[in-house]
Amino acid sequence: MACIVTKPAKLTSAKEVDISNLDACNLTPFHLATWQSDTTGMVAEKQVNKFLNPMAVAWPNMNFLNPNELVMGHIIMNDSKEASRDPATAKGCVRGNACKEIYWDPSEVRAAVVTCGGLCPGLNSIIREVTNTLWHQYDVRHIYGIQAGYNGLSNPEKFKPVQLSPDKVRDIHMKGGSILKAGRGGFNPEQICDRIERLGINMVFTVGGDGTQHASHLLYEAAKKRNLPVSIVGVPKSIDNDVKFFDKTFGFDSAVATASEVMKNGWVEATSCEKGVGIVKLMGRDAGYVAMHAALASTIVDLVMIPEVKVKLEDIFEHIDHTLARKNFMLIAVAEGAGQEFVATGQTDATGHTVYGDIGTYLRDEINRHLKASGGRSFYIDPSYIIRSCPIRPNDHIYCSRLARDAVHTAMRGYTGVCVGPIHNIIVIMPSELIASGKRRVKLTSSAWQSCVQSCNMPLSLTGL
């Protein structure tokens, strides 16, 4: 059994910080000790968290966070982009690491990990480190891997949970994919609450994108309504890097590294024939981060097309002609969501998402028609499934491990209905409803996009500037 902390401590009050219900640091609705109270502000963890973190016993000199540490969202003085900053983070975000006092008695914890949506590099790294942190740092022995996404939580009879342990997850980070078979659909908050209550699960880690985290918030609301004490902590996933507020998502660096290597293949094809144009289609439904960063990393790209910039076909042809006249080859990186004005389908899938047309094959065919008279041609590569199924890269694995550990620490501190992620490279806690409130997109006035434009020597007409 964990030790109980009885020593009171004075904390900064919500009134002193002047927190409203619109601020990211308003976490009293998202802590199991205060979620039923109609109050706003930060949580007085040293007063409500009664158990001593077992790591404080194992490592007496270990440093723990002050539970009221804040990471300020706006850190630039005389900011040229002040008007575009989201006000939710202006008063800061609570740090998401280990604290000396915790809410849960580790001996009573029964945890579950679920991966939702499509594949992404790093899923197995998250599963591995959540398991190891629970097992080794908190002595938790009941850890369930939920199969097939939310389907496994709604219907564990059909999709049987996997018992996770350090032996089970030891080397899973060496391969891509998810050992839990990530899946879509199957979300039913009332049914899930029934199932986790029956299984005695009181800690759920949801790994997935904005849709998953929106569902995670709905699950939190359903649990709150029936006063079912369960810590629900999300680890946002998006290979497109379009999760709102956070610096980046796990798997993104691995995707960019693999995409950069594929860009070299496109360059080889383009430079190995007369008037060759290589076209590489990359991930990026609504945000062009992968294409932009792959171009910056490879430094061999002449045109980057992203969803944030609408272009004209004649301007693309003009840039191709000028580039071929200058060096006899060209390389294009195009995000899958770019140029939808040319290929829009007008359709939606079963989940309500827009079905995008194939901009890659459209560009290939149009460029081939344009170059036919002059003897040029295009070479088209679509490495999407190669990228999303690739193993995690070393630095990305380190990042996944940070996220997973801090997700566990956040849950042990008693938070629920929240996500963890980095702001200014410091992991913080944010309500899931904020993370699910929109998508991050490439800002055309950002230094990253302007550097990309300059690196590729793109004409003004194709930049959105």
Tell me the two tokens of residue 181: 């078979």
With beta carbons less than 8 A apart as the criterion, state whether 287 and 442 touch.
yes
Options 210, 240, 286, 382, the catalytic residue: 240
Q: Are 357 and 344 in contact (CB under 8 A)?
A: yes
Instruction: List CB contacts of 238: < 8 A, sequence separation 6 or more.
Output: 120, 209, 210, 249, 251, 252
d(CA 245, CA 140): 31
CB atoms within 10 A of CB 33: 17
Tokens of 341: 């004005």
Is-catalytic flag, 167? no
SS3 of the chain? CCCECCCCCCCCCHHHHCCCCCCCCCCHHHECCCCCCCCCCCCCHHHHCCEECHHHHHCCCCCCECCCCEECCCCCCCCCCHHHCCHHHCCCEEECCCECEECCCHHHCEEEEEEECCCCCCHHHHHHHHHHHHHHHHCCCEEEEECCCHHHHHCCCCCCCEECCHHHHCCHHHCCCCCCCCECCCCCHHHHHHHHHHHCCCEEEEEECHHHHHHHHHHHHHHHHCCCCCEEEEEEECCCCCECCCCCCECHHHHHHHHHHHHHHHHHHHHCCCCEEEEEEECCCCCCHHHHHHHHHHCCCCEEECCCCCCCHHHHHHHHHHHHHHHCEEEEEEECCCCHHHHCCCEECCCCCEECCCHHHHHHHHHHHHHHHHCCEEEEECCHHHHHCCCCCHHHHHHHHHHHHHHHHHHHCCECCEEEEEECCEEEEEEHHHHCCCECCCCCCCHHHHHHHHHHCCCHHHCCC
The residue type at 463: T
Instruction: Tell me which residues are annotated as active site.
Output: 240
